Amino acid sequence: MRVLVTGASGFVGSNLVHLLRERCDVLAPSHAELDLTTTVPPKVDAIVHAAIWNALDGLLANRRKAWAGYVEATRNCVRSGARVVLVSTDWVFDGTQGPAREDEPPNPINAYGFLKAASELVVLEADGTVARIAGVQGVHRAKPETPRAQDAGFGYLVASVVDALSAGRPFTVWDSPDINRIATPVLATDAAELIWRALERRVTGILHCVGSEHVDRVSLARRAVEAYGLDMELLEVGAPPPQRERIPYDTRLDATETARRLDVELPDVNRLLEGLAWAST
């Protein structure tokens, strides 16, 4: 199988490439080599579309560019004629629907969630696959030395905590109803494995490529500290900075149907922490 991965230089994309290269023939063009906002990709068997414009402020400041970077780029993937797997997000929900099943109607409350939800429709109307991921943890395979920082979502939270405490620095975990406080996190490589199974089995429709366990961000941080044998006294809890947009508070995903369709047992948080420890070595 020949698979094109978009966004291969990003966190999620680099983990997709890392895993898929062990299973199939992978093309991983840079944005300079393939601008999806203006170009239809070359014909391949499948496209895993993980590229995003990763500038949340920019999504509001330049809405035409944002629409092109998400929706038009997705349309061009579909126009290629390849099978398309869109990597989407739990932020297509508003934070009141958790745990949301695969067939729960989206109700985004910010620009990123809206653009992802619109892109989902493009792929679903073409009988493609939507792979929603959430709270993605892991290492950046393309840029392993990339500094990690906490944000309003869950991504990179464990690595950020471990990096700080391992160096003897305190870390303040944000806790507030104004940010994404509870989700269903997954290790990046585990999400990639689920996406590969969808490709291999030709599973279409909406999938929740996440773990089996819901957890709030403070509990996740504390479990990471315990798992890595770090100093719990260095872990603090505090308020986040003001957010420019509304952030969904509770984005728990129910992945029961996904597990059934892919015939897998989804990993829990302990498996996530064990896998991250292995990936970091």
Residue with tokens 């030395």, as numbered in its chain? 145
**Predicted local distance difference test score (pLDDT) of residue 55:** 77
**Predicted local distance difference test score (pLDDT) of residue 50:** 98
Q: List average pLDDT for each run of 10 residues in the chain, which is 281 residues long.
A: 96 96 96 95 97 84 94 98 98 95 97 97 98 95 79 90 95 96 97 98 98 97 96 97 93 98 97 82 52
H/E stretch holding 113: helix 111-125
Contact present, 99 and 256 (Cβ < 8 Å): no
Residue with tokens 């829990």, as numbered in its chain? 268
The Cβ of residue 226 has, within 10 Å, a number of other Cβ atoms equal to 11
The residue range of the domain holding 11 is 2-280
Burial call 94-127: b when 16+ CB within 10 Å, e when fewer: bbebbbbebebebbbbbbbbbbbbbbbebbbebe
Alpha helix segments (H runs only) across 21-105 = 56-61, 63-67, 73-79
Residue 270 is part of a domain; what is its CATH number?
3.40.50.720
Using alpha carbons, list the distances in angstroms from residue 274 to 182, 227, 266, 269.
21, 8, 14, 9
CA 13, 16, 18, 21 torsion-angle sign: negative
User: In the sheet that 2-6 helps form, which strands lie side by side, from edge to edge?
Assistant: 25-27, 2-6, 46-49, 83-89, 129-133, 205-208
Contact present, 277 and 227 (Cβ < 8 Å): yes
User: Residue 18 has which token pair?
Assistant: 């890392």
Residue 140, C-beta contacts closer than 8 angstroms, at least 6 positions apart: 11, 14, 146
Q: How far apart are CA 166 and CA 144, in angstroms?
A: 16
Domain total of the chain: 1
**Predicted local distance difference test score (pLDDT) of residue 276:** 85
**Predicted local distance difference test score (pLDDT) of residue 280:** 60
